[in-house]
A = this chain, B = another copy of it.
Amino acid sequence: MNRLREHIEEITPITDEEFDYIQTFFTLKKVRKNQFLIHEGDEVKHEFLALDGIFKVFYIDEDGKEHILQFAKKNWWMTDYVGFFKQKNSKMFVECLKDGEVVSLTLQGREKLASEFHKMDHFFRIKLTNGYIALQQRIILLLSSTPQQRYEEFSRLYPDLISQIPKKYVAEYLGVSRETLSRLYSNNNK
């Protein structure tokens, strides 16, 4: 749980006593590659903070096509947030791509922590701000015209992810073919 404390303290200092209480809201869980944290149709009971590992959040459209909403790595939060905040069933899958650990938190837990501690309200606000920025950048990437621009933007934003995620998922995330992506990878490494 030390990693959770470090993560919170990147935003706001907390005392030992406070952390002893705060951590009771979180549950630690090991996750293996290919394991799912959430399936489509599940009640979205938790959000997850990745302490380690790589994850992808995706959905499958009416035609059976998979679309990746986001990846997540250490210190990123993830779930189907529409389902989580609106207490609806999930439209998303959350799958582990590389062994790791997460802590989970319920919406009731989040709201209780935020109402009892001004600093936790602040913490969640700052985390949401970062999430908001990441989603805006995701939209700009999707709107960008060329595969080249999308690839460059993704590499610029997440240089560490590029090397750890199978190419087929990067291609899917960027909405480009695997052949195009391979060309971009090799051009980039010249």
Seen from chain A, the residues whose Cβ lies within 8 Å of a Cβ on chain B are 59, 61-63, 65, 67, 69, 81-82, 85-86, 91, 114-115, 118, 121-122, 124-125, 128-129, 131-133, 135-140, 142-145, 149, 175
Contacts and interface: CB of A to CB of B under 8 A. Distances in A.
B122 A132 contact: no
Contact of A61 (B67, B86, B139, B144): B144
A112 to B, nearest CB: 13
Chain copies in the assembled complex: 2
B132 A62 contact: no
A139 B140 contact: no
A133 B85 contact: yes
A129 to B, nearest CB: 6
A143 B59 CA distance: 10
A64 to B, nearest CB: 10
Contacts of A65: 145
Given A125-B114, A128-B128, A129-B85, A69 B136 contact: yes
A144 B142 CA distance: 12
A82 B118 contact: no
Contact of A128 (B115, B125, B137): B125
A81 B125 contact: no
A125 B175 CA distance: 32
24 contacts: A62-B149, A67-B143, A69-B136, A69-B139, A69-B143, A81-B136, A82-B136, A85-B133, A86-B133, A91-B140, A114-B122, A114-B125, A115-B122, A118-B118, A121-B125, A128-B128, A128-B129, A132-B135, A135-B135, A135-B136, A135-B138, A138-B139, A139-B142, A142-B143
A121 B129 CA distance: 12
Contacts of A124: 125
Given A81-B132, A139-B142, A143-B175, 18 more contacts: A61-B145, A62-B149, A67-B140, A69-B136, A69-B140, A81-B136, A82-B133, A85-B129, A85-B133, A86-B133, A91-B140, A114-B125, A118-B121, A121-B121, A121-B122, A125-B125, A125-B128, A128-B128
